Amino acid sequence: MFRVTVARKRTEALAIQTFELVPSAGLPLPSFTAGAHIDVRTPTGVVRQYSLCNDSQETHRYLIAVLRDPMSRGGSVAMHEHLQEGDSLLISAPRNHFPLEPDAKRSLLFAGGIGITPIIGMADQLARLGAQFEVQYFARTPQRTAFMNRIEHSPFANRVSFHFEDSSNAHQSETRRVLASPAPDTHLYVCGPEGFMRFITLNAKECGWEESNIHQEHFGGAVFARESDRAFEVLIASSGRAYTVPPGQTVVETLAKAGIQIPIACEQGVCGTCLTRVLEGEPDHRDALLTPAERARNDQFTPCCSRAKSARLVLDL
């Protein structure tokens, strides 16, 4: 990770603040592509992932937007209440699990609420390339709609449709109309709350969209203990030692107690930092990172949140 300075903090919409980050050493920031995110060590020490909202051609700054989450475990509230202009932060270099498909002839971008954060950068890039695309932006109210003014004054303003909860055009029929004509060279990008993404992707599949043409960006995994959870064993291939992972404890936690450290960041199965190769056994995937095809191979999993369906997992550690 490296250090940046908060050059500007701004209220972007109700409960949403943007932070403009510039390099503390005055050097150009690592380049990024539309859809990328960075890890941010928040003032409380927890690490959270935030999408980059600015144009990927910019090298002098990163722009992130943070929704204040009433269920925050210390990340968003700390960013809103404690981080001020002039403060410094530790961040990672950008990573992109949500890239634009370079061969797509047409792109449909669906944003739900704070899910506009990667989408707006993607729209910037597509507009610059002269590509065919449209943006469907769903929000609760105009007051809670981030980047509305920026969009309305952008070169792609006529390609964005706003949908609010108190307006009739936010109905399922409108979504089905937009998704009604899937094509092999058309790609769908969806980002927002989990319920929103399930709604859009379900409608897309019912309209005949191929899984490979649907792309999603998750903000956080739904990591919950389940009554059916049982103990299982993880075996470390390099040492041959086995450890029991009890219900209510993650693989990362179990191995940490044994002195085996696995790098982690989000602890929600989103960022991919802890992704570990599986040599034997069947994981119980609970991440929001791997695609269905990647999960089906059962050759890697996220030990920060995923468990095992088999009695034992052999890990390439």
Q: What is the pLDDT of residues 89-100, one digit of tens each?
A: 999 999 898 999
Quick one: average pLDDT of 182-188? 95
pLDDT of res. 169: 45
User: Which range has the worst mean pLDDT, 122-136, 225-239, 298-312?
Assistant: 225-239
pLDDT of res. 89: 92
Task: Please indicate whether the domains covering 2-91 and 106-217 agree at the CATH topology level.
Answer: no
108 - beta bridge partners?
134, 188
Average pLDDT score over the chain: 88
- Contact, 136 vs 163, CB < 8 A? yes
What fold, for 232-315? Ubiquitin-like (UB roll) (3.10.20)
CATH class for the region spanning 106-217: alpha beta
Give 109-120 pLDDT, tens digit per residue.
Answer: 999 999 999 999
Quick one: average pLDDT of 122-148? 94
pLDDT of res. 272: 76
pLDDT of res. 119: 96
d(CA 180, CA 254): 48
d(CA 194, CA 222): 9
Please say if the pLDDT value at position 220 is more than 80: no
Query: Smallest Cα–Cα separation from 312: which of 275, 282, 277?
Result: 282
Quick one: average pLDDT of 5-10? 96
Could you tell me the residue ranges of all domains in the chain?
A: 2-91, 106-217, 232-315
Token pair, residue 35, equals 């859809």
Please say if the pLDDT value at position 182 is more than 60: yes
pLDDT of res. 219: 66
What fold, for 2-91? Elongation Factor Tu (Ef-tu); domain 3 (2.40.30)
- Contact, 230 vs 247, CB < 8 A? yes
Residue 298: left (phi > 0), alpha (psi -120 to 50), or beta?
left
Residue 291 carries which side chain, given as an amino acid letter? Answer: T
Share of the chain above pLDDT 90, in %: 61
Quick one: average pLDDT of 263-270? 72
d(CA 189, CA 174): 17
Q: Measuring CA to CA, how many Å separate 186 from each of 32, 64, 213, 215? A: 24, 28, 7, 11
